[in-house]
Amino acid sequence: MCGICGFTGAVDGAADRATLKAMCDAMAHRGPDGEGLYVSDGIALGHRRLSLVDLAGGGQPMVRATGEFESTIATTAISFEHVRGSAAPTSDLDAGSQQHALIQGRWSIVFNGEIYNYRELRAELESLGYGFSTDSDTEVLLVGYIAWAQGVLDRVRGMFAFAIYDADSRELFCARDFFGIKPFYYTFQGGQFIFASEIKSILEHPAYERELNEQALAQYLCFQFSALDETFFKGIFKLPPGHCMRVGLRGDAQIERYWKPGYVHDESRPFAETVDAVDRAMRESVRYHNVADVEVGSFLSSGIDSSYLASCLALENPDIKTFTVGFSEYRGERDEISWARELAERLGVENDAHHISEEEFWEAFPTVQWHMDEPSADPSAVALYFVDKLAARKVKAVLSGEGADELFGGYRIYQAPFANEHVGMVPRPLLRAGSRVLRAAGKRGANYLERASERVEDWYYTNANGAAFSPAERDRLLSAELHRRLDDVPTPQQLTAPCYAEVADLDETARMQHVDLSFWLAGDILLKTDKMAMAHSLESRVPFLDREVFRIAAGVPTLQKVDERQTKLALRQAAERAIPHDWAQKEKLGFPVPLGGWLREDRYHNLVKAAFESETAGRFFDTGELVGMLERHRAGADLSRRIWIVYSFLVWYDVFFESRCKGPLTSARFDAEGQR
């Protein structure tokens, strides 16, 4: 929907207004439809708007004069609106900002996201005597907080990150949605609290001095994403999903978890009833996620998730637009685009598609790292960047299938506990010995025996298992100097242990799902979903990550989700009511990227090798280990994902710490500036 930022300790002066303006400018891509600046005694709030609901009246920051019951109110949108795609004259915007500082009110809000049930909440608030001056969900959220305080979080259905300031108590209340769909970053610097939707916005505040968090690098090598609450920038943190915080103007803060996933498996419910419940919940969620004053489109791949969503949306609006990208050379198989076009024809909906060339992929990669804020080693982020770019040409919001795998058991690794049952009677020491023998002989099956000999908590820490480095491999990879500085780095198992403890009474597959919901989904999947869409001023909506859909999924027992033969059992059956059998039962591919082959080509092999032998690489890694890994891959071993983890970090580090880019950086410009 937009980008938010702000800081405490502000005064109504030119310096703070200039800082706020710079913070907004750094994430202008999140909101090209308008900008709002509000500076009052002690607080500065900024907003970049992507308008989807109440196009005329939903500007922010929004200020409300009173919290009393009243039939008429004074709620003012403090924003400078301009037509999408055209920049407002700087002088006019500065003048507007000065005027905004004169408007005062007790309550003020900046909000990023969508409240899909805002109409029902508005009707309830009106019955309590509250009035409204806009038709926006922002005002409903603000008035809901005035009426119910933190309790508003128990009532909303949507995705959000917001900050509400109460001038009377001189306290800022901030919250992030249940699953972490929308980002919220913050730091404390010299008694000031600074927050934003993107880290690059915080970097514009003069109180923050950028510094690399080396602990984050150590964990990233094992997880392939930023796994800690503290980001790659020392002192900048992420508010965890399902958490809120209260911040006083003196810098004191309290963080509280207001929601956590709860699971009560209904073992007695027949499978057919489960399928009915899933289908009803998904169709209702798609209806809610179609609430907007602009057209909502949908991604469409070859898989079940987006196909199901697009079909449900087509029932709401037969004229929907769908969007697909693919790599035609992937494994010589039928590509995503041909599957999507065939389904689009069956549904009778429009489909725009684009084949991503290898040149486009590599050219866009530095830009992707700039938008991600932290290094992302997920190659599909680049594919997502292109499908978002394609969609943004025609719509302002799209439905996307994130969350289906974590809620309904979509990853093949969730079948591992069933496979392990075949050797369940074999003593664990014998399994470990067999694993060592197979690994020494270079035979298949070593990982299977090793996992079967351990508890799931001992070997599974996210869906990146197997693609990333083990702690021992990481230690060999790090430079000796960095290794000395990183004293007592927690293992991935230590980081995920509290998460496992929350669901100790569930079966192994359900425990794996919960860990992925808490780490993989929030740290990798949803982060790239938000950042790649916002890179093109597009809102990505995720109907699977709806509170009611989760409630249904949380009651489905594992054997109705996953067995040894198939994943997403109940979801596939539900989807067959909307899409053909071949699509509902199709194997999961995600966004398949032919990275392994590219890294064996001279052009890209040499490009990555130069980065691995660079002075920058030598600060953090044993460059001999890096080059050796690259050569083993070229000789036939598939080490592409591990190579990509390191290379992604090096490109990201150049973007943020060496060139200190202020905007998207293409590969060509990156090369021209001598950063590789």
Catalytic residue set: 2
Contacts (Cβ under 8 Å, ≥6 apart) of 297: 320, 321, 322, 323, 391, 394, 395, 397, 398, 399
Q: Exposed/middle/buried for 86, CB within 10 Å: 0-12, 13-18, 19+?
A: exposed
Residue 380: C-alpha distances to residues 361, 591, 598 (Å): 10, 5, 15
Residue with tokens 């005329």: 56
Q: Rounded to an integer, what distance in angstroms lies between the CA atom of residue 154 and that of residue 139?
A: 17
Polymer length of the chain: 676
Task: Report residue 458: phi and psi, to 5°.
Answer: -80, -25
First to last CA, the chain: 35
Q: Rounded to an integer, what distance in angstroms lies between the CA atom of residue 100 and that of residue 94?
A: 10
**667 touches 632 (CB < 8 A):** no
Contacts (Cβ under 8 Å, ≥6 apart) of 237: 185, 186, 187, 229, 230, 231
Contacts (Cβ under 8 Å, ≥6 apart) of 161: 4, 111, 112, 113, 174, 175, 176, 177, 182, 183, 184, 197, 239
Q: Rounded to an integer, what distance in angstroms lies between the CA atom of residue 64 and that of residue 169?
A: 15
Q: Rounded to an integer, what distance in angstroms lies between the CA atom of residue 382 and that of residue 362?
A: 9
Q: Rounded to an integer, what distance in angstroms lies between the CA atom of residue 234 and that of residue 237?
A: 8
DSSP track, 117-164: THHHHHHHHHHTT---SS--HHHHHHHHHHHHGGGGGGT--EEEEEEE
Residue 516: C-alpha distances to residues 268, 507, 537 (Å): 26, 15, 28
- Inter-residue long-range contacts of 482-491, CB under 8 Å, 24+ positions, other chains counted: 482/214, 482/619, 482/620, 482/621, 485/214, 486/214, 486/215, 486/218, 489/215, 489/218, 489/219, 490/219
Q: Rounded to an integer, what distance in angstroms lies between the CA atom of residue 509 and that of residue 615?
A: 44
Which tokens is 347 given?
A: 């549904």
